[in-house]
């Protein structure tokens, strides 16, 4: 199945061979093979191209074997790689829901691949059959985002499974925000769906957007393609070290999760009570979408108060909507205080 989906040049590609790959498995302590500078250790050495130590640790936390895991420079990297591996520029196309995370379209545009956007229903639920109807014989990928950005809702599992079963191409389920709910993550179902790619990131629950570390989970065959096409040393040593530090201190991550969820449960009803609020949409993520009277004005008013939220008013189905990230208790109180004082202008 996979061979028919992969671009011919990628199938035929002979990947770059790293100096360290060639001696692997043997003992050595003098490295004169990679034209590095012998001083300034450990930063003088190229990092592990496959991040094996980090993946072994992550395998335990994520419940997915290292062989089914790809690590990249943020989720941006696997998003881009999906296009470069599967989509022939100007010939193939992808289908996605709308509204959703903007990088799927940007990466399509960069790779010169047609992007077909299919609206969600009014309640932001996924119309699986509408997405399937938008596909044709050149559709290589369907992009799903659950919980969805900017709407915040997790998509119905049955609808995602329907697409995974019916569609013959690759289905990407971006679960960047799945740590903020208790639904079963799709990365645990790779055995059932050979066409599934799941995205996770260190940028959300793991509070490490600055280190740029994204994860993709998929079959070993798909992971092998990612590894073939990626830059050889795509995840730098500092990032690998910092991720290990975090993985050795999971107490913090659990505390952050509990705090964000508690704050979310306080913030939602408080926003809903504001006279300027038309609707607060149910969220399974660490942000909430709120429909506000005169969102544009409220957005600028908040900026004058030193508070930045995301104005999504010009996004399909999101007229007059602000997307608000759950912050610390102090930040959330400051936001509520400012909104309560807003008098329209
Ligand atoms: N996926 C989704 C759905 C997102 O909303 C975001 C961040 N805005 C990302 C991925 C970005 O992840 P990363 O920082 O790993 O590139």
pLDDT for the residue numbered 26: 73
Whole-angstrom distance, CA of residue 291 vs CA of residue 278: 5
Tokens representing 129 are 């059959």
Ligand 1 binding pocket includes 151 (Cβ within 6 Å): no
pLDDT over 60 at 81, yes or no: yes
Mean residue pLDDT across the chain:
96
Each residue's pLDDT tens digit, 101-146:
999 999 999 999 999 999 999 999 999 999 999 999 999 999 999 9
Q: Which residues contact 309 (CB under 8 A, 6 or more apart)?
A: 299, 302, 322, 323, 324, 325, 335
pLDDT for the residue numbered 255: 96
* Residue 204 alpha carbon to ligand 1 centre in Å: 8
- 49 Rama sector, left if φ>0, alpha if ψ -120 to 50, beta otherwise: alpha
Each residue's pLDDT tens digit, 151-208:
999 999 999 999 999 999 999 999 999 999 999 999 999 999 999 999 999 999 999 9
Helices 295-304, 329-341: axis angle to 10 degrees equals: 120
Q: Which residues contact 1 (CB under 8 A, 6 or more apart)?
A: 168, 194, 195
Nearest residue CA, atom 11 of ligand 1?
75
Ligand 1 binding pocket includes 207 (Cβ within 6 Å): no
Q: Among candidates 16, 40, 38, which has minimal Cα distance to 29?
A: 38
Least confident of 6-20, 71-85, 90-104, 134-148: 6-20
Tokens representing 224 are 């092998």
Phi, psi of 135 (to 5 degrees): -85, 155
Least confident of 20-24, 42-46, 164-168, 241-245: 20-24
Each residue's pLDDT tens digit, 308-340:
999 999 999 999 999 999 999 999 999 999 999
* Residue 274 alpha carbon to ligand 1 centre in Å: 30
First to last CA, the chain: 59
Whole-angstrom distance, CA of residue 155 vs CA of residue 142: 14
Ligand 1 binding pocket includes 209 (Cβ within 6 Å): yes
With vertex at residue 161, the alpha carbon angle to CA 159 and CA 164, rounded to the nearest 5 degrees, is: 115
pLDDT over 60 at 345, yes or no: no
* Residue 176 alpha carbon to ligand 1 centre in Å: 6
């Amino acid at each position: 199945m996979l061979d028919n989906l992969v671009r011919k040049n990628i199938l035929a590609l002979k990947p770059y061979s790293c100096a360290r790959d060639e001696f692997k498995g043997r003992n050595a302590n003098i490295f004169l093979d990679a034209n590095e500078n012998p001083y300034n250790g450990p930063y003088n050495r190229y990092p592990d191209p496959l991040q094996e130590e980090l993946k072994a640790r992550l395998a335990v936390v994520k419940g997915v074997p290292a062989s089914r895991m790809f690590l990249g420079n943020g989720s941006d990297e696997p998003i881009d790689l999906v296009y470069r591996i599967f989509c022939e520029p100007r010939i193939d196309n992808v289908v996605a829901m709308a509204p959703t995370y903007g990088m799927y379209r940007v990466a399509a545009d960069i790779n010169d691949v047609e992007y077909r956007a299919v609206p969600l229903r009014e309640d932001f639920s996924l119309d699986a059959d509408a997405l399937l109807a938008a596909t044709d014989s050149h559709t290589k990928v369907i992009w799903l985002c659950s919980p969805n950005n900017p709407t915040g809702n997790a998509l119905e599992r049955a609808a995602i499974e329907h697409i995974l079963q019916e569609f013959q191409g690759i289905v990407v389920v971006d679960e960047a925000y799945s740590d903020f709910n208790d639904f079963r993550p799709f990365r645990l179902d790779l055995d059932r769906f050979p066409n599934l790619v799941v995205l996770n990131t260190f940028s959300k629950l793991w509070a490490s957007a600055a280190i740029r570390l994204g994860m993709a989970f998929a079959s070993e065959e798909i992971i092998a393609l990612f590894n073939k096409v990626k830059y050889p040393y795509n995840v730098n040593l500092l990032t690998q070290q910092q991720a290990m530090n975090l993985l050795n201190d999971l107490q913090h991550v659990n505390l952050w999760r509990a705090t964000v969820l508690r704050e979310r449960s306080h913030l939602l009803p408080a926003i809903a009570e504001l006279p300027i609020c038309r609707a607060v949409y149910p969220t399974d993520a660490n942000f909430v979408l709120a429909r506000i009277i005169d969102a544009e004005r409220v957005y600028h008013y908040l900026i004058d108060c030193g508070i930045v939220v995301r104005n999504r008013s010009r996004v399909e189905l999101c007229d007059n909507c602000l997307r608000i990230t759950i912050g610390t208790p102090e930040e959330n109180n400051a936001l509520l205080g400012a909104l309560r004082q807003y008098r329209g202008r």
